[in-house]
Chains A and B, each alone.
Chain A
Amino acid sequence: MTEIATPYIANKRTPMRSAEDLRAQIPGWGADLDPADRPSYPREQAGIETGAHWDFPERQPEKWPRERSVEHAFLPPVFGTSTPPAGASGAIRRHAYKYSEGRAAHWLLLIAADRVDAWEHHLKSFATLHPDNPITETGVAAEFRRDGLSSGFGQKRADTNHQWIDPIIVSTRWVLTAVALAAALKTLGKHRTT
């Protein structure tokens, strides 16, 4: 019978480096060996001092009907005010928040709204002095300035095998959206005339 290189026995076969060696070779080896020294052990700790001097935070003013998850009992006291929902994407977003976070509809509508949002802004930008510029906004110039070709060439990298899809997916999106917009305008037009 041929010898089994790694028979399944009670212990690991590969010899381990000793604690002394590890301590000598690796700065700080074992400093947190005792779980009690690890800040997130145990996961939850009672009575953590956080610096808060309130039981419940004072509520920040709600300047527009703030969209919120139906899984919350009420509007939490503090929230971001970065970009209120607006336009068609805003309408889709407000609708998405009618579904709980457990429903695929919630997330798929939000993703759809994100795509509509980008299009609303691209189109709007063409009517301004600051239109969207795909060259500067995608930063592709870095490809030439920063070694783009040599970074991918002659090396085993798994991301170069699908990068060719990017232009196709990006341009297909532009085409599909244009078709969808045209269809939408057509339906709107019909509604108005009937």
Chain B
Amino acid sequence: MVYRGPYKIRVEEKDIPKIEQPNDAIVRVSKGAISGSDLHLYHGMIPDTRVGMTFGHEFVGTIHQVGSSVQNVAVGDRVMVPFNVYCGSCYFCTRGLYSDCHNVNPNATAVGGIYGYSHTCAGYDGGQAEFVRVPFADVGPSRIPDWMDEEDAVLLTDACPTGYFGAQLGDIAQGDTVVVFGAGPVGLFAAKSSWLMGAGRVIVIDHLEYRLEKARSFAHAETFNFAEYDDIVVHLKKETDYLGADVVIDAVGAEADGNFLQHVSASKLKLQGGSPIALNWAIDSVRKGGTVSVVGAYGPIFSAVKFGDAMNKGLTLRMNQCPVKRQWPRLFEHIQNGYLKPSDLVTHRIPLEHIAEGYHMFSAKLDNIIKPLVVAGQS
């Protein structure tokens, strides 16, 4: 697929990408996915999103070609590729901050490299395609274990580790009350992971009833539909002895709904780096001295965040893009132990040829969509 401007994409023939650096590999994609983050690109919210770019940062496939220095994977290997492009050797990578690599993104120092995610994230073409260039093939990709389902592997390239990471950023202690804003794939995984870390109560907030239903069945959470309350923050206070929650996770990001002015000024008119409705609700509904974990993504332009309250309440704010591969060994154990089945969230399998409709459905949240996969080479 290629981007044609806000709300527009189409399928085009492109040349097969070439090896540009000795540790590159070319991967032939078998399955990919559309992510909540792709919607920010699709809506034209991320600066330096160029017409002609191919999106897609969640994909698995087969190694088609390798550069001269590649030693950890070989042609024919089935691999899963984290959404982060990272070198493995810089100041940040060697400390485990893979999403903050300093060697892969000329365009910005505030973010690392992400496949198919604008030039602000370095201008790499992504995996909603048949072939994709994967830099640092010895660092990022892993062979898909034999026991692992391919659809689980796709979800492990972003949504599942991001939710798991979001729960870790909350520094959850035993018995904590955790509120998760957003019942998309990331929020659902964050809610599920909060239990692993010992939460005593997990509450999920959204306005899409079918997603809240999933939060109850998949993530064992209590749920509230914010559209049914005059003021969801007051309701959450009521639910938490008027103290507030110990930990709140923002798994919504830049295009939050719920406040007409904020949503329109950010999402429609692009006057803000994102409408921080969910983030402001998080700041309001967490208890004093509590922790707000932000995994929802925001653009680099300023957003109207209620910083004064965060300061006065003595909050800890923690956030990042997820360093995906760091999460894998432990997540693999949880999957093998039966604690988690990532592909439970897959609702749609869309052939690459029909991806424009897939984007529209996911953007407008039609047909009870939660996680759409993109399947290559099928008509």
Contacts and interface: CB of A to CB of B under 8 A. Distances in A.
Interface of A: 6, 8, 12-14, 16-17, 19, 22, 25-33, 35, 37-41, 43-48, 50-61, 66-69, 71-72, 75-83, 85, 89, 93, 96-97, 101, 104, 107-108, 110-111, 113-115, 117-122, 125, 130, 132-134, 136-143, 145-148, 151, 155-159, 161-163, 165-166, 169-170
Contacts of A93: 48, 119
A15 B326 CA distance: 36
Contact of A30 (B21, B198, B209, B241): B198
B356 to A, nearest CB: 4
B125 to A, nearest CB: 5
Contacts of B72: 51
Contact of B241 (A13, A26, A83, A139): A13
Given A25-B220, A39-B327, A111-B270, A57 B89 contact: yes
A47 to B, nearest CB: 7
Given A28-B334, A58-B22, A139-B361, A78 B52 contact: no
Interface residues of B, number: 115
B358 A139 contact: yes
Contact of A157 (B48, B124, B207): B207
20 contacts: A17-B200, A22-B195, A32-B193, A46-B94, A48-B96, A48-B326, A52-B93, A61-B20, A69-B106, A76-B102, A82-B124, A83-B51, A117-B50, A119-B5, A132-B8, A139-B357, A151-B366, A159-B207, A162-B260, A169-B268
Find the residue from A26, A96, A114, A146 having the highest chain B CB count within 10 A.
Answer: A114
B360 A140 contact: yes
B59 interface: no
Interface of B: 4-10, 12, 20-23, 44, 47-54, 69, 71-72, 85-89, 93-98, 102-110, 113, 119-120, 122-125, 135-136, 138-139, 165, 168-169, 171, 174-175, 193, 195-198, 200-201, 207-209, 220, 225-228, 240-243, 257-258, 260, 263-264, 268-270, 273, 299-302, 323, 326-327, 329-331, 334, 337-340, 356-361, 364-368
Contact of A29 (B198, B360, B364): B198
A23 to B, nearest CB: 10
Enumerate the 8 nearest inter-chain pairs by beta-carbon distance, A residue then B residue, closest first. Answer: A28-B339, A118-B5, A80-B123, A52-B88, A139-B360, A50-B88, A80-B124, A68-B106
Contacts of B242: 6, 8
A6 B120 contact: no
A40 B167 CA distance: 10
B177 to A, nearest CB: 8
Contacts of B124: 79-80, 82
A38 to B, nearest CB: 5
A130 B330 CA distance: 48
Contacts of B5: 117-119, 121-122, 132
B87 A47 contact: no
A122 B5 CA distance: 9
Nearest to B369: A146
Given A14-B241, A40-B327, A44-B95, A76 B106 contact: yes
Contact of A138 (B87, B135, B195, B356): B356
Contact of A33 (B52, B86, B197, B208): B197
A141 B366 CA distance: 12
Contact of B89 (A19, A26, A55): A55
B4 A132 contact: yes
A72 B97 CA distance: 18
Given A52-B136, A161-B260, A82 B174 contact: no
A83 B53 contact: yes
B209 A146 contact: no
Contact of A38 (B104, B197, B356): B197
